Amino acid sequence: MHTRTLGKDLEVSAVGLGCMGMSHAYGAAADTHEMTELIAQAVEEGCTFFDTAETYGTRENPHHNEELVGEALKPFRNKVVIATKFGIRFDRSSDAVNLPLITDSRPETIRASVEGSLKRLQTDHIDLYYQHRLDPNVPIEEVAGVMSDLIREGKITHWGLSEAKEETICRAHAVCPVTAIQNRYSMMARWYESLFPVLEELGIGFVAFSPMANGLLSGKYGKNSVFGGKEDYRSVMPQFQPENMEQNLELLELLQNTAKEKNATPAQISMAWMLCKKSYIVPIPGTRKPERLTENLGAADVKLSPQEVAALDEVLDKIPMSQVYGGASIIKK
Ligand SMILES: NC(=O)c1ccc[n+]([C@@H]2O[C@H](COP(=O)([O-])OP(=O)(O)OC[C@H]3O[C@@H](n4cnc5c(N)ncnc54)[C@H](OP(=O)(O)O)[C@@H]3O)[C@@H](O)[C@H]2O)c1
């Protein structure tokens, strides 16, 4: 698979693997042995970019995902880029399916987080360390200062911001250069396209999370799809509600038709669309299934011309669509 450069010098495969769903948000955690094999398969198929977070876990083990990813990537550590995140925890006292988030980017919390992540990931450095959400109580300059220190100490080599807006990006970058933002981006969630100019000006990469709108854009889900119960966020996501499904039929037809023309699948088209739009966009789709992993990584080989991307954008601007999931709420604690 070809590679892309995030920021000045972080080389990653054009498509990464989001590991969150192996532990969190899509029902009970998947089988550890199977996920370890899946991660090895990803490396074998050319993926070098793996995404996790200290907070992706289960009720029993809040750091399940980092442990899984660390163990699975141990044999390949020098060949891969590991990205993880600090700065939030879930409010597990809540009854909501999509647990509210509590932000905490105090320097002492970040210090404790980085040590925990290094240990669980079984590594001496994190390649890309993101602030998971902005903490309204801690100025971003202070967080960026901690990132400078961690880089100097060799504990992290690059840093980034998740769900970041323009002002935060600029203020953060002025203190310690930001390598990438990681924001929600898909054909159904295009609101961060407004950041393209500032990312280009500052030379910052865009890692796209939930690039298939949590799977909907694959065209494999319908009114009768059954999700994994109480811990499956899809059960409350607007795009998967049976009463909303009809609003997305035209969009799914557009994907089907383009897929046919390009000898690809709808999931691949949904990611080729962003890959071919900007050279600094890197989607990180997540899956638990070997055949879908191959399909998703294959998006890097699907070529759409600038005219084809623009034509898709034009249709996307007008086509009816349901609401799409926009993330869990942030609460003050
Ligand atoms: N920074 C943040 O705040 C944030 C938030 C959310 C996610 N993320 C990161 O982004 C990664 C990906 O995001 P995401 O999981 O929310 O959304 P996504 O990648 O758009 O969708 C994942 C969902 O789609 C299904 N799927 C994957 N490939 C498929 C295919 N080819 N055909 C049909 N269904 C497919 C998966 O189910 P199966 O497992 O059954 O295939 C899973 O339920 C996460 O793993 C995480 O690392 C970051």
Where do the domains of the chain lie?
3-212+277-303
pLDDT of residue 171: 98
CA distance 226 to 222: 9
Distance 209 CA to ligand 1 centre (A): 8
Does residue 214 line the site of ligand 1, with CB under 6 A? yes
Options 3.40.350.10, 1.10.10.10, 3.20.20.100, 3.30.300.20; which CATH number does 3-212+277-303 get?
Answer: 3.20.20.100
Give 189 Cα–ligand 1 centroid separation in angstroms.
14
Q: Whose CA is nearest to atom 36 of ligand 1?
A: 287
Mean of the pLDDT values across residues 187-191? Answer: 97
171 pocket-lining for ligand 1 (C-beta < 6 Å): no
Establish whether residue 289 lines the binding site of ligand 1, counting it when its CB lies within 6 angstroms of any ligand atom.
Answer: yes
- For residue 228, pLDDT over 90 is answered with no
**Pocket flag, ligand 1, residue 218 (CB < 6 Å):** yes
**What DSSP string runs through 223-234?**
TT----GGGBGG
Can you name the residues that pair with 103 across neighbouring β-strands? 88
Region of poorest pLDDT, from 140-144, 154-158, 224-228 = 224-228
- R_g over Cα of the chain: 19
Is the pLDDT reported for residue 333 higher than 80?
Answer: no
Q: Is the CB of 228 under 6 A from ligand 1?
A: no
* The model's pTM: 0.98
Alpha helices for the chain (secondary structure H): 32-44, 64-73, 107-121, 140-152, 166-175, 196-202, 242-245, 249-262, 266-275, 290-297, 306-318
pLDDT at 222: 87
Q: What is the mean pLDDT of the chain?
A: 96
Q: At what angle do helices 266-275 and 290-297 cross, to 10 degrees?
A: 40
Give the distance (Å) from ligand 1 centre to CA of residue 22. Answer: 9
Is ligand 1 within 6 A of the CB of residue 26? yes
Between 256 and 242, the more confident residue is 256
Query: Cα 37 from chain centroid?
Result: 21
- C-alpha 111 to ligand 1 mean position (Å): 29
Q: Say yes or no: CB of residue 285 within 6 Å of ligand 1.
A: yes
Q: Which atom of ligand 1 is nearest to the CA of 19?
A: 45
Asked if residue 108 has pLDDT above 80, the reply is yes
- pLDDT tens digits, 3-38: 999 999 999 999 999 999 999 999 899 999 999 999
Return the best residue to mutate from 56, 89, 210, 284 for the ligand 1 pocket (most ligand atoms within 8 A of CB).
Answer: 210
Is residue 304 lining ligand 1, measured as CB closer than 6 Å? no
In angstroms, the Cα distances linking 124 to 57, 82, 140, 223 are 22, 11, 25, 46
Of the residues 132, 214, 227, 324, which should be mutated to test ligand 1's pocket, given the most ligand atoms within 8 Å of the CB?
214
Which CA distances in Å does 265 have to 13, 93, 234, 253?
20, 40, 22, 12
pLDDT digits (tens, 9 = 90+) for 195-207: 999 999 999 999 9
pLDDT at 134 over 90: yes
Q: How far is the CA of 211 from the centre of ligand 1 (A)?
A: 7
Looking from the CA of residue 212, the nearest atom of ligand 1 is 20
- The residues carrying an active-site annotation are 56
Q: Which residues contact 139 (CB under 8 A, 6 or more apart)?
A: none
What's at 86, amino acid-wise?
Answer: F
